[in-house]
Structure 1
């Protein structure tokens, strides 16, 4: 069968370096760090005292105090970024067949703050089960796409993808597949996460996964630097409107880019550590290239997973070297997590937005906070260190890898009629 073409017609973002797409993009190309000391709870007894928090987000102002109290922050974030994307796409759902518009949304953890608050309140009590009636519906990971569909009256496929830090890349791939198979006209897709609380930071600290560079939070996220010491937790949301090309053209939509491929794989190796030889990462990039009917020579820029961990960064570069061969010296590589921190289940969507805007604007966002070369990396590789680079870009690839060995990679190209 002949696949339908799938295009991007709307974007929305709530990030640690900007609460709109334009603010986020300006932060990226100017190399702004979103890391700072945590304000949402007392970190006195925590190994890590900083994170990339969302700044200036007013849930009560956006939703109203009554409705905001019924929603975990990860859902608040999802609704906020989606409202921007819907407006950006110029959508009037009253004029569209909403039975063919769906929502697929990723979150690695879901309502962790809600779970924490309810369990703490119970533990402080006398054993009598006094739980908020919204406890379960606030917490479950699938509630974000549910609320999005309710708000806009969308009756197409609706579910959540949960694959740790690959979650929102998986949501994009599932949405892409439904549209190109002709099973839907449009999807609201993306991801959100809100884990900057005692349980989130404490849990990742217990794993020794987070940076502990408390003396200099702004430079703590150092992908590919010799002195990297762990990732920096982030939070927020990213929304991408994916739409069947002819449907988009019929309503006169603006088109940012075309999504042309996606790949998925598993490391089948360890619950948290990536395969040291990057086998799953190489497999997923090859799978995405094959799906898009491309060769490595077609890619101009790879927005890497690049978390700033001692183990994760080298395995991804090994995988890229394996897949791209000599073409690795021709492409740009960068990790926008150096600025946003790691948004976990929202990372794929937020980084896909960065990739799409790089295509649109001909600018590669940098990998900031590079101070010392790691001799294990080939010095001829262009990591786009410390400053954005202008470049004519035709095709981009964006990677996401998650605990459990989940890998997902997406590919976008400049739209050509």
Structure 2
């Protein structure tokens, strides 16, 4: 079904009756699992096919008809549907200032350190991208701050900093129609500390000792809700939880709310704080983490032959997404443009990616179609690149399937320095991607010592590089086979 869905939305309509029709689109992939059809060339002039193959299955007769060359994809021109980025906010292992965060990345600094939030001395993994010296002063009142799970503290601070960056202070918001401003900040695991503490109280002391905040601070929607309560934003408000793909899913959904006319502005992103006994222990049990305890700063090494798993991180990354019409009307500073995105599912395994990369490659194709971008226009990929044995190469294989000529593409791995922020990863990496666009500098992928031979794309090894970004994609994939890709570009009026 994933292959059928991918085909249908990418340029061909497949029908049980055997009838089919062609639609304009960016690309079509081979139908893995049905029967291979001819490879379609994807170029700046459109799609060209040379014939058709039909096959029968339990879904009926499926036919992929030949279609003539179609016109090149076109970007959105309606200012009500064009989506621009007018603010960014984050909480990271390098602090809560966007410029400081990116400068640390450009310098190739590792934020990976031994865990001291809890006693990890008996754990087989004892390091992480743990945030230290975090302060919520000026953003959360003292009473709430003491009660909140860290994930919601990170969410509130990054969200409010993003609003400030977009010149949407409390006084400004009071003069706006707040029913037209929504919040969509997700989390992969929610308030894991609040949940763990509640269960501990139940087991040790009985149900009467469970705090009334146990449920509210555990559930994943509470970040968006608390941010709305504090700011009065009354537009679309919910959370998405798709593991490590969460933030990109939120960007994609938020953009669609604006395009449909549900909102003028969306506060969107992801937050996570899972460096806890249960969080670290759980990922150890999954055999997902690097165990390089003797040298933690070199543990996260995407695409390196000697990688042995990801490094758990935390934080939050939030964007202010706004219709171009609304941004221009209020005189907002426009940082970059969101061109489009896509989400798909591998439908394969709970934790392992498809080796053929079909779910990822189809997601990239769909994102380019949504963005109105030809593959040749993309020259930067902020990769998911977690430093796992299977995941790193599966992503590269998928990228190489979509982009036949990768000689002009540069690709880097932000997680090599900050670890894997789980539900926050896509938010932090979207900010890194946008900063690459605005500064003209790509941060390095550190710990690149012995590159896998299959990786023939420039990974910006160990030292930053100057690079004028034309179109960038940022990839995020999550347990469950959730794939997400978002597309950003410099803003051009």
Bucket of the pairwise TM-score, normalised by the shorter protein:
over 0.9
Q: Which runs of 5+ in 1 are unaligned?
A: none
With a CA cutoff of 8 Å and minimum separation of 6, indicate the structure with the bigger relative contact order. Answer: 1
Contact 2:367–2:486 (8 Å) recurs in 1: yes
Q: Spell out, residue by residue over 1:23-64, the C-alpha distance to the aligned partner (whole angstroms, 9 max, x if none).
A: 111111111111000110000111100000112103477534
Q: How far apart are residue 82 of structure 1 and its match?
A: 1.3
CA 128–408 in structure 1, closer or farther in 2 if over 3 Å, else same: closer
Hey, what does 1:130 align to over in structure 2? 209
**Relative to 1, partners in 2 of residues 1:69 and 1:60: Cα closer, same or farther, differing over 3 Å?**
farther
Deviation string for 1:214-243 (max 9, x for gaps)? 001111100000110000000000110000
- Structure-to-structure mapping, 1:268-279, within 5 angstroms: 268-279=347-358
Distance in 2 (alpha carbons) for counterparts of 1:410 and 1:249: 23
Distance 1:202 1:60, change over 3 A: farther
Find out whether 1:246 has 2:325 as its counterpart: yes
Give the drift of 1:159. 0.4
Aligned to 2:174: 94
> What is the count of residue pairs matched by the alignment?
413
3-state secondary structure, aligned to 1:320? helix
Matches within 5 A, 1:133-152: 133-152=212-231
2:191 counterpart of 1:114: no
- Residue among 346, 358, 368 paired with 2:424: 346
Tell me, in whole angstroms, the C-alpha distance in 1 between the residues paired with 2:436 and 2:304: 23
Partner of 1:66: 143
Looking at CA atoms only, which structure, 1 or 2, has the larger radius of gyration?
2
Partner of 2:98: 21
How far apart are the structure 1 equivalents of 2:136 and 2:127? Answer: 22
**Which residue of structure 2 lines up, in the alignment, with residue 398 of structure 1?**
474
What's the CA shift for 1:70?
Answer: 2.8
User: Take 1:83 and 1:203, find their aligned partners in 2: how far apart are those partners?
Assistant: 31
- TM-score scaled to structure 2, two decimals? 0.82
Q: Would the aligned equivalents of 1:18 and 1:27 in 2 still touch at CA under 8 Å?
A: no
> Which position in structure 2 is the counterpart of 1:264?
343
TM-score by length of 1: 0.97
In angstroms, what is the RMSD of aligned CA positions?
A: 1.3
In the other structure, the counterpart of 1:54 is 131
The whole-number CA distance in structure 2 between the counterparts of 1:119 and 1:182 is 42
| Contact 2:95-2:134 within 8 A present in 1 as well | no
Deviations along 1:137-194, one digit per CA (max 9) or x if unpaired, are: 0110000000111111011000001111111101000111111222210011111000
1:17 Cα offset (Å): 2.2
Contact conserved, 2:192 with 2:274, CA < 8 A, in 1? yes
2:44 maps to which residue?
none
